[in-house]
Chain A
Amino acid sequence: MTMANNTRFNQLKAFVIKEIHHILRDRKTLLVLFGIPVVQIVLFGFALSNEVKNNRLLICDQAHDVHSAMLITRLDASKYFDVVGYVSNPDEGTDRLRSGSAHMVVVIPSGFSADLRHSHETSVQLLTDGTNPNLAATIQLYVQSIVNDFRNQIFGKPDIPYEIEVSPRMLYNPQLKGSYTFVPGVMAMVLMIICTLMTSVSIVREKELGNMEMLLVSPMNAMTAIFSKAIPYLLLSLMLVTVILILSVTMLDVPIRGSILLLYLVSLVFIITSLSFGLAISTATNSQQVAMLISLMGLMLPTLMFGGFMFPIENMPIPLQVLSNVVPAKWFYYSINDIMIKGLGFGAVYHRVLLLAAYAAVFLAISYRNFKIRLS
Chain B
Amino acid sequence: MKDRILDTDMSIEAHNLTKKFGDFIAVDSISLQVPRGEIFGFLGANGAGKTTAMRMLTGLLRPTSGSAFVAGYNIATDSEQVKRNIGYMSQKFSLYQDLKVWENIEYYGGLYGMSLRQIKEVTDLMMHKLDMDQERNTLVSQLPLGWKQKLSFSIAIMHRPRIVFLDEPTGGVDPITRRQFWNMIYETAREGITIFVTTHYMDEAEYCGRVAIMVDGRIEALGKTSELKTQFGASSMDEVFYMLARGAKRNE
Contacts and interface: CB of A to CB of B under 8 A. Distances in A.
B90 A14 contact: no
Contacts of A214: 88, 90, 94, 108, 111
A10 B88 contact: no
B156 to A, nearest CB: 9
Contacts of B115: 6, 10
Interface in A1-41: 6-8, 10-11, 13-15, 17-18, 21-22, 25-26
A10 B99 contact: no
B219 to A, nearest CB: 22
Given A211-B94, A375-B61, A8 B99 contact: no
A51 B113 CA distance: 60
Contacts of A26: 98
Given A217-B83, A218-B111, A18 B103 contact: yes
Contact of B96 (A17, A18, A220, A376): A18
Interface in B68-120: 80, 83-84, 86, 88, 90-94, 96-100, 103, 106-116
B162 to A, nearest CB: 13
A106 B199 CA distance: 88
Contacts of B112: 11, 218-219
A217 B88 contact: yes
B110 A13 contact: yes
Contacts of B98: 22, 25-26
A170 interface: no
A210 B90 contact: yes
B59 interface: yes
Interface string B43-81: 000000000000000111110000000000000000010
Interface string A46-61: 0000000000000000
B111 A15 contact: yes
B94 A210 contact: yes
Contact of A11 (B86, B91, B113): B113
Contacts of A218: 83, 88, 108, 111-112
Contacts of B99: 18, 21-22, 25
Nearest to A206: B96
A213 interface: yes
A186 to B, nearest CB: 29
A357 interface: no
Contacts of A216: 59-60
B15 to A, nearest CB: 20
Contacts of B111: 11, 14-15, 214-215, 218-220
A66 interface: no
Contacts of B113: 6-8, 10-11, 219
Contacts of A376: 61-62
A25 B97 CA distance: 11
Q: Which of B90, B114, B165 has the most A CB atoms < 10 Å from its CB? A: B90
Contacts of A220: 111
B107 A15 contact: yes
A206 B118 CA distance: 26
Contacts of A318: none
Contacts of B80: 219
A220 B59 CA distance: 12
A217 B90 CA distance: 10
A7 B112 CA distance: 8
A219 B84 contact: yes
A154 interface: no
Interface string B5-29: 0000000000000000000000000
A10 to B, nearest CB: 5
A11 B113 CA distance: 5
A259 to B, nearest CB: 38
Contacts of B96: 18, 22, 209, 211
Interface of B: 58-62, 80, 83-84, 86, 88, 90-94, 96-100, 103, 106-116, 165
12 contacts: A10-B113, A11-B111, A18-B96, A18-B103, A22-B98, A209-B93, A210-B92, A213-B92, A214-B90, A217-B88, A375-B60, A375-B61
Given A21-B99, A213-B60, 8 more contacts: A6-B113, A14-B106, A17-B107, A22-B99, A209-B96, A210-B93, A217-B83, A219-B111
